[in-house]
Chains A and B, each alone.
Chain A
């Protein structure tokens, strides 16, 4: 299940199960959204993105859902693997914000073997 840790929310899932990571974004003018994965000691890496004219986009084992009405993003990972253990961040961009990328707080995903 999902719990709130000292700083980062944490999600623990069993290997092979599906994971759902949620994110609330702040700027209603944001029109581009990105999910990043950050492994320990490394910089964030791009996973998948979605623009505001879409509500769903699929990649390899990952799906992003966008609900603009409630300013909510989710990342779904199918058949979660131990290598998926990392911190996941959503980020938003807006051309009214000078295209700067603003990050959400992040969720730590633990995959139990």
Chain B
């Protein structure tokens, strides 16, 4: 049972480039989340989804877009990467009111 899988695990982007981070879960969870974690800091919610075809903004949504075309997948897009988006990105999934399960993270560096 894979749980939550994130791809890629590492990426270096130049300022202005675009990329998509993929999150896949095999637990049939309704809820999926994208967080960013900066060094020595907590996790901040970027966007989340309460079901297939729905998305909502979290605490720090600017500069990111998301899509949930399939229940098992939640994509995070950066249209024009900026150095301030250098961070570790975590995807998570959960049932409505239970604990979230996290992926292993994607380390993104924007130069």
Q: What distance in Å separates the Cβ of A100 from its nearest Cβ neighbour in chain B?
A: 5
User: Does any Cβ of A come within 8 Å of B110's Cβ?
Assistant: no
Interface residues of A in 35-72 (CB under 8 A from B): 41-46, 49
Residues of chain B within 8 A of A101, CB atoms compared: 33, 45, 92, 94, 100
* A interface residue numbers (CB < 8 A to B): 5-8, 31-32, 34, 41-46, 49, 89, 91, 93, 95, 98-106
Residues of B near any A CB (own CB < 8 A): 4, 31, 33, 35, 39-45, 48, 50, 56, 58-59, 90, 92, 94, 96-105
- Find out whether the CB atom of B33 lies under 8 angstroms from the CB atom of A106: no
- Alpha-carbon separation in the docked complex, A104 to B103 (Å): 19
A100 to B45, Cβ gap below 8 A?
yes
Residues in A whose Cβ lies below 8 Å from that of B105: 41-43
Q: How far is the CA of A98 from the CA of B56 in the complex (A)?
A: 9
Nearest residue, chain B, Cβ from A90: B42
Given contacts A89-B42, A89-B43, contact A100 B48 (CB under 8 A): yes
Q: Which residue of chain B lies nearest to A45 when distances are taken between CB atoms in the complex? A: B102
CB-CB < 8 A to B58: which residues of A? 100
Tell me the minimal C-beta distance from B51 to chain A in angstroms: 11
